[in-house]
């Protein structure tokens, strides 16, 4: 890592800390720094409850989900050698949504009977995400064309959306509201009790991604070069696939299908550190993802913007990045 | 002494489609060998099979004493480096970082480079004369420069054997000869066994130490001088509207 990028890393850590702190202050009950810190460490009063049981878990969720989705996007962009790959564009989020919809709306009782509901949502999302990922990998092998792959991803997304629509009409009234809210995306739905479960999936996923940095670099040159450099390509592909499916599936289960964060963040990170070398790019992407998620969530928490769905903000910020990647075609098409 | 790369009754191709068979060759240290044959004749497949990246249909590929299939991916990468046609879309990566990737089989889990690694990378950049390009991006380079960089990467891998799949495909005559001279020098000076596949028979006759010709599913193996007098070259392209003239060592339209 160059000296410049080492400083960038430090700056991103600092930015994350500041954003995290801001997160504890902003909301319906504004707090100042002293109050928030006091509440964080010894508050049983009202402010303490707000910070410790509402704002802290939400901020932690944003950090986990943001970094997880960003790393997921980077892994997919490197694996498919396609700058437009990401969990939402390639239909992973849609697959996860479908899995959740089947469990929440169709309620297959034989399945739910032996599984706690929260666990079932994760399993549904994970199975949905993995199924779509397997399909995409198959399509990638067959077609070997980036744009065609993207179209397949979009079609899978539409298809899942259509099935979800059918389930919504047929599903019970009460479950429908819950599902629609979940579909808007939110970092606020993960309460303290469930946070360890999210962390238990996301943290190992991030660790595995960091563990694979050298092989990911070799894969930038293509699978033949990677194999000639001593990378066990099939095993690496499998590892990346499982990691991607677990990250996208679990984060979607807990926070809803969050659009664009996974696709856009690696491009922002590349713009910041100006290299595709994963030993630099991966940590930078991870931290940028956490910052962007905290930013987006802060925007919808500012009084006056309350009630805005998280997905509206991530799309507002993310869609232009995608457009820009396509627009500047040649230069960025090769930077995956 | 055992050859750094040898085959025994090797047959290559795909299930149901045998491309080349009964291949018994040995690459010796310090020689530049050209693999020549018509399109679709199995050059690439043979090269990939020798590199251990494609399973042989029958027979064996050996690296020194070991059979190639029994080596781990990393052990294989320490014995053989590969260069492919054209340039990979390597993303935002400067030439030095790219060449440094050649060190992957030798570095630790996270690929940290030691002083020795840096010295070897510098040496590789110097050997193919691309030191001045070290800070540039691969996609900004000309085809000739990019191919030299990919060879520097293979050189940094520090292997006794280097295999190149049509490295001169996109190059003009001047750059083809320059590249071949560089490879010849690397083979002779550093005692590497260098095998490249090419369509450029003329340059191969002039600069390579030995030729391997794929003809009718068999491999002809000999020196350029033998190839000229043996009649194998006429046979190779007979019926293609070409005639080989031994006096000028070149093909003429007939």
CB–CB contact B88 A225 (8 Å):
yes
What pLDDT, on the 0 to 100 scale, is given for residue B107? Answer: 93
Nearest CA in chain A to B101: A218
Chain B nearest-CA distance from A226, in A, is: 10
Domain covering B5-87+158-222 assigned CATH 3.30.200.20 in the classification? no
- pLDDT at residue B232 tops 90: no
Please name which of B229, B189, B187 lies closest in space to residue B207, comparing C-alpha atoms.
B187
CB–CB contact A277 B93 (8 Å):
yes
Strands B5-14 and B58-63: antiparallel
Is B80 within 8 Å of chain A by CB?
Answer: yes
> What domains sit in chain A, N to C, each tagged with a CATH number?
3-333 (1.10.3470.10)
d(CA B39, CA B24): 22
- Chain B hits for A275, CB-CB cut-off 8 Å, are 92-94, 97
Q: How many CA atoms lie within 13 A of B174 on its CB side?
A: 3
Is B76 within 8 Å of chain A by CB?
Answer: yes
Is B157 within 8 Å of chain A by CB?
Answer: yes
Average pLDDT score over residue span B85-114: 90
| Helix, strand or coil, per DSSP, at residue A298 | helix
CB–CB contact B104 A336 (8 Å):
no
Own/partner long-range contacts of A48-56 (Cβ < 8 Å, ≥24 apart): A51/A24, A52/A192, A53/A191, A53/A192, A54/A27, A54/A188, A55/A23, A55/A24, A55/A27, A56/A24, A56/A192
Chain B nearest-CA distance from A63, in A, is: 25
CB–CB contact A220 B90 (8 Å):
yes
- pLDDT at residue B115 tops 60: yes
Nearest CA in chain B to A2: B97
What pLDDT, on the 0 to 100 scale, is given for residue A93? Answer: 87
Write the residue in A81, A218, A222 that is nearest to B104 by C-beta.
Answer: A218
Q: Which two tokens stand for residue A295?
A: 């930013």
What pLDDT, on the 0 to 100 scale, is given for residue A262? Answer: 93
d(CA A285, CA A114): 39
What pLDDT, on the 0 to 100 scale, is given for residue A336? Answer: 41
Domain ranges of chain B: 5-87+158-222
Nearest CA in chain B to A225: B82
CB–CB contact B91 A213 (8 Å):
no
Contact B217, B18 (CB under 8 A): yes
d(CA A327, CA A316): 17
- pLDDT at residue B239 tops 70: no
Tell me the sheet residues that pair with B27.
B5
Contact B12, B49 (CB under 8 A): yes
Write the residue in A217, A224, A227 that is nearest to B101 by C-beta.
Answer: A217
Q: Which two tokens stand for residue B51?
A: 């590199």
Selected residue of A211, A216, A229 to mutate for chain B interface (largest B Cβ count, 10 A): A229
CB–CB contact A228 B78 (8 Å):
no
Write the residue in B51, B84, B93 that is nearest to A276 by C-beta.
Answer: B93
Chain B nearest-CA distance from A214, in A, is: 6
Nearest CA in chain A to B76: A230
Selected residue of A210, A230, A333 to mutate for chain B interface (largest B Cβ count, 10 A): A230
Per this entry, what is the length of chain A?
Answer: 336
- Chain B hits for A230, CB-CB cut-off 8 Å, are 72-78, 104-105
Contact B191, B29 (CB under 8 A): yes
Tally A–B CB contacts below 8 A: 78
Selected residue of B92, B106, B151 to mutate for chain A interface (largest A Cβ count, 10 A): B92
CA dihedral B12, B13, B17, B21 (to 10 degrees): -20
d(CA B26, CA B11): 15
- Chain B hits for A221, CB-CB cut-off 8 Å, are 88, 90, 101
Write the residue in B72, B74, B110 that is nearest to A279 by C-beta.
Answer: B110
What pLDDT, on the 0 to 100 scale, is given for residue A335? Answer: 44
Chain B nearest-CA distance from A281, in A, is: 10
Tell me the sheet residues that pair with B35.
B197, B212
d(CA B119, CA B156): 10
- pLDDT at residue B80 tops 60: yes
Contact B101, A229 (CB under 8 A): yes
Looking at residue A187, what DSSP letter applies?
S
Strands B218-222 and B5-14: unpaired
Selected residue of B52, B79, B90, B91 to mutate for chain A interface (largest A Cβ count, 10 A): B91
What pLDDT, on the 0 to 100 scale, is given for residue A168? Answer: 83
Q: Which two tokens stand for residue A188?
A: 């606020």
Contact A87, A246 (CB under 8 A): no
What one-character-per-residue DSSP string does chain B give?
---SEEEEEEEEEETTEEEEEEE--EEPTT-EEEEE--TTSSHHHHHHHHTTSS--SEEEEEETTEEGGGS-HHHHHHHEEEE-SS-----S-BHHHHHHGGGTTTS-TT----HHHHHHHHHHHHHTT-GGGTTSBGGGS-HHHHHHHHHHHHHHT--SEEEEESTTTT--HHHHHHHHHHHHHHHHHHT-EEEEE-S-HHHHHHH-SEEEEEETTEEEEE-HHHHHHHSHHHHHHTTTTEEEETTTTEEEE-
d(CA B195, CA B189): 15
Instruction: Write the CB contacts of B221 (distance below 8 Å, at least 6 apart in sequence).
Output: B25, B210, B211, B212, B213
Element (DSSP H or E) covering residue A101: helix A92-101
Tell me the sheet residues that pair with B17.
B14
* Residue-level pLDDT, tens digit, chain A, 336 residues: 788 999 999 999 999 999 999 988 888 777 888 777 777 777 667 777 788 888 899 999 999 999 999 999 999 999 888 888 888 878 888 999 898 888 877 766 666 556 666 677 778 888 898 899 888 888 877 876 667 777 888 899 899 989 988 888 877 777 777 788 888 888 887 777 788 889 999 999 999 999 999 999 999 998 899 999 999 998 998 899 889 988 998 899 889 889 889 999 999 999 888 889 999 999 999 999 999 999 999 998 887 777 788 888 998 888 888 788 777 754 544 444
Write the residue in B82, B84, B111 that is nearest to A217 by C-beta.
Answer: B111
């Amino acid at each position: 890592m160059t000296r410049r990028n080492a400083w960038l890393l430090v700056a991103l850590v600092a930015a994350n800390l500041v954003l995290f702190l801001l997160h504890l202050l902003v909301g319906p009950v504004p707090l100042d720094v002293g109050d928030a810190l006091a509440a964080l460490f010894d508050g049983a009063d009202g402010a303490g409850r707000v910070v410790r049981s509402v704002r802290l878990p939400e901020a932690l969720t944003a950090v986990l989900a943001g970094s997880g989705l960003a790393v997921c996007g980077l892994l997919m962009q490197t694996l498919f050698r396609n700058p437009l790959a990401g969990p939402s564009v390639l239909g992973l989020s849609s697959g996860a949504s479908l899995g959740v919809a089947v469990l929440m709306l169709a309620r297959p009782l034989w399945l739910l009977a032996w599984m706690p509901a929260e666990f079932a949502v994760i399993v549904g999302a994970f199975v949905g995400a993995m199924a779509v990922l397997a399909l995409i990998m198959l399509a990638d092998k067959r077609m070997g064309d980036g744009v065609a792959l993207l179209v397949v991803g979009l079609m899978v997304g539409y298809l899942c959306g259509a099935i979800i629509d059918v389930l919504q009409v047929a599903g019970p009234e009460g479950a429908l509201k819950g599902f629609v809210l979940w579909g808007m995306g939110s970092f606020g739905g993960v309460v303290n009790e469930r946070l360890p479960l999210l962390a238990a999936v996301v943290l190992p996923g991030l660790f595995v991604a960091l563990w694979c940095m050298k092989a990911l670099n070799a894969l930038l040159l293509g699978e033949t070069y990677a194999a000639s450099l001593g990378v066990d390509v099939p095993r690496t592909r499998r590892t990346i696939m499982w990691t991607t499916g677990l990250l996208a599936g679990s984060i979607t289960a807990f926070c809803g299908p969050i659009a664009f964060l996974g696709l856009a963040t690696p491009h922002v990170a590349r713009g910041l550190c100006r290299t595709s070398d994963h030993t630099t790019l991966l940590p930078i992407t991870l931290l940028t993802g956490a910052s962007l998620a905290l930013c987006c969530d802060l925007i919808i928490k500012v009084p006056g913007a309350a009630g805005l769905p998280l997905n509206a903000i991530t799309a507002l910020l993310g869609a232009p990045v995608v457009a820009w990647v396509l627009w500047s075609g040649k230069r960025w098409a090769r930077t995956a | 002494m055992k050859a750094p790369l040898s085959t025994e009754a090797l047959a290559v191709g795909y299930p149901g489609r045998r491309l080349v068979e009964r291949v018994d060759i040995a690459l010796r240290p310090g020689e530049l060998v050209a693999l020549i044959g018509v399109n679709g004749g199995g050059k690439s497949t043979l090269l990939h099979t020798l590199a251990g990246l494609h399973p042989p249909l029958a027979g064996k590929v050996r690296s020194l004493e070991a059979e190639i299939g029994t080596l781990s991916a990393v052990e294989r990468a320490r014995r053989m480096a590969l260069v492919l046609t054209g340039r990979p879309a390597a993303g935002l990566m400067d030439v030095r970082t790219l060449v440094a990737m050649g060190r992957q089989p030798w570095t630790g889990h996270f690929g940290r480079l030691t002083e020795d690694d840096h010295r070897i990378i510098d040496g590789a950049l110097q050997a193919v004369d691309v030191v001045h390009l070290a800070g540039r991006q691969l996609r900004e380079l000309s085809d000739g420069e990019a191919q030299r960089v990919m060879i520097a990467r293979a050189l940094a891998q520090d292997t006794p054997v280097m295999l190149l799949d049509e490295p001169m495909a996109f190059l003009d005559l001047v750059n083809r000869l320059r590249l071949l001279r560089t490879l010849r020098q690397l083979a002779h000076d550093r005692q590497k066994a260098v095998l490249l596949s090419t369509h450029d028979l003329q340059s191969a006759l002039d600069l390579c130490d030995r030729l391997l010709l794929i003809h009718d599913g068999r491999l002809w193996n000999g020196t350029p001088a033998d190839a000229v007098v043996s009649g194998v070259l006429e046979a190779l392209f007979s019926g293609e509207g070409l005639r080989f003239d031994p006096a000028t060592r070149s093909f003429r339209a007939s």
